[in-house]
Chains A and B, each alone.
Chain A
Amino acid sequence: MGEMRTTIPIGPYHPLLEEPELFRVVVEGERVVDIDWRTSWNHRGIEKIAESKTYDQVTFLVERICGICSTSHPIAFCNAVEDLANIDIPERARYIRSIIAELERIHSHLLWFGLAGHYIGYHTVWMWVWRYRELVCELFEKISGNRQSYAMIKVGGTRQDIKEEDYSYILKTMDELEPKMNMFIGAVLDDPVILARLKGVGKLSKEDAIKRCVVGPVARSAGVDIDTRRDYPYAAYDRVNWKVITQEDGDVLAMAVVRLLEILESIKIIRQCVEKMPQGPIEVEVPEIPPGEGIGVEEAPRGENFHYVRSDGTNCPARLKIRAPSYVNIPSFRSRFIGERVADIIIILASVDPCYCCTNRMVKVDDGAGERTLTDKDLLKLSWEETERIKNKFRGCKRSKLLE
């Protein structure tokens, strides 16, 4: 039966998150035997554009790399420039940066969980979660004036202050969010159908995680204990109490658990930051950027963001290298797909929270003749049918029996 192979192109139009990317999945019967990744239909040449913009303009440019983690790239870039020019930013700016970055983490993780619910046919989860994400977006609008792309960060500090009358609003939103999140985590982790769909699916072993150099929640769910916020303290993370969430299994469920528990940690960080927020200036005057090089790392919701800046003494960077977390997380599919079933493809693809615009590259399909083609809609349908099947199988069973 070795010859009965089918290639399923997933993408390049809107494979999952309404962004262009192509995965060619080769299956034998129902089992995946190989997967290939091609990318970059939306190459925007940001690294090249950055070479002709001033340092101040580049913070706006890198903010446009990704709409979801739009504050992570400016923070990583500013970390790099501050490392290059040895700039020490004021205390108050550190706390503001932390608050913005953590609020973004909450909204990004909630967005992911909603979509994950959608992919496995749990539309209730989808609607439910996005309702709470709305609270965070409203809070952002209140603080910065924008729901997305907040433009709060600049080299040497922050562009805007958080007003004192907004503190109570932030705390109130956190108070509202926390019990909801606890209830939500309880409900999701107690649901036998979600457990049946996610547990043991798309496993990534610790060895593979290290070899494929994955970062962020993907690495932490496989037992690799890394977190840039702790390892390379920036902003105010070394001034507040929080802990790094890790899991051992490396499957989709572990990834979901890491993200959900991280939301609670983020709420904890934001509360402490607001309470400890010192008075003072929010920016320092930036000297001329000397020739040299700087490296900035930042923990985005999807993992470590890496910016390398080279300066030749002019007011524009000579080279800016950006490594977004999805760039290393997406190739880990090669390790996690082999042997899985077609119905699980879509949730595994979604599990690393891939951000295609972060990889800022593009895709081409060159489909050979005679290949059967399934679209993403077919895959979604397959995935939903699988959930229905499990639901029907479990209908009327006792809960304790299901969890065995």
Chain B
Amino acid sequence: MAELNPVQKVKERFPERIIELWEKSPKRIYITVGKEDAKDMVSYLFEDLGARFIIMSALDTRPGIEILYHFSFDTLSKIVSIRTLVPMPFPEIESISLIIPGAEYIEREIYDILGVNFRNHPNLKRFILGDDWPEGEYPLRREHKGQFPYRTEEEQELYREEIRSKWEK
């Protein structure tokens, strides 16, 4: 289908914007780009090169939150991952959900668990955490101890009342 290797095409299209290109094996390619260039790169891969969007993954590292966009070229057996770093303490990046509707829910999930704010997301609401989970606690950040925030007996009772009144409405 594609005569030229997609990696070559990406190199030609964005010669200055690629920070690092690592071919781990012929089937696994990692491209590091700046935070502002990630959206252009994603739209080029998805719309022009016809790659299939697999998923995003996010990881809290020392310098900031690392986001990877995984794409698959099924006919060529290549998985291309775009890597970008979103600096702390206020991680923010442009949303890709308007280009790829399939990315809507994973962006909401990353917003929940790592607190990355996706600009221009159509519906950036809480998705996987419970509605009683406190604001500003992100369970997959490094500083989080993996415990549900503690409630005293009275607070727990108040919380139950609140849920009950919601249901009785």
Contacts and interface: CB of A to CB of B under 8 A. Distances in A.
Do A and B belong to a common assembly? yes
Interface in A269-321: 292-295, 297, 304, 306, 308, 310, 318-319, 321
A396 interface: no
A331 B105 CA distance: 8
B128 A361 contact: yes
A331 B104 contact: yes
B130 A306 contact: no
A326 to B, nearest CB: 11
B169 A367 contact: yes
B54 A369 contact: no
Interface string A201-237: 0000000001111100000000000100001110000
B70 A231 contact: no
A40 B146 contact: no
Interface stretch (B6-14, B73-81, B86-94): B73-81
Given A83-B28, A328-B102, A231 B77 contact: yes
Contacts of A39: 127-128
A306 B72 CA distance: 11
Contacts of B127: 38-40, 361
B55 A319 contact: no
A323 B59 contact: no
Contacts of A369: 169
B164 interface: no
A232 B52 contact: no
A248 interface: no
Contact of A321 (B28, B53, B55): B55
Contacts of B128: 39-40, 43, 361-362
B57 interface: yes
B18 interface: no
A356 interface: no
A186 interface: no
Contact of A295 (B52, B58, B74, B79): B79
A293 B74 CA distance: 21
A45 B130 CA distance: 13
Contacts of A321: 55, 57-59
A308 B53 contact: no
A48 interface: yes
B57 A308 contact: yes
Interface in B1-32: 24-25, 27-28, 30
Interface residues of A, number: 42
Q: Which of A211, A231, A361, A368 has the most CB of B within 10 A?
A: A231
Nearest to A294: B28
A47 B57 CA distance: 11
Contact of B77 (A232, A295, A334, A367): A232
A323 B55 contact: yes
Given A40-B127, A361-B128, A369-B169, A213 B105 contact: no
B63 interface: no
A226 B54 CA distance: 12
Q: Which of B79, B104, B129, B140 has the most CB of A within 10 A?
A: B79
A331 B102 contact: yes
A18 interface: no
B166 A366 contact: yes
A364 interface: yes
Contacts of A214: 102
A327 interface: yes
Nearest to A365: B167
A308 B52 contact: no
B159 to A, nearest CB: 14
26 contacts: A39-B128, A45-B139, A210-B52, A212-B102, A213-B52, A213-B100, A231-B72, A232-B77, A233-B77, A292-B24, A293-B30, A295-B79, A295-B81, A306-B55, A310-B59, A318-B59, A319-B59, A321-B57, A327-B55, A327-B105, A331-B101, A331-B102, A331-B104, A361-B127, A364-B130, A366-B166
Interface of B: 24-25, 27-28, 30, 52-55, 57-59, 68, 70, 72, 74-75, 77, 79, 81, 100-106, 109, 127-131, 139-140, 146, 166, 169
- Pick the 8 closest A-B CB pairs, nearest first: A213-B102, A321-B57, A323-B55, A361-B128, A40-B128, A231-B74, A319-B59, A212-B102
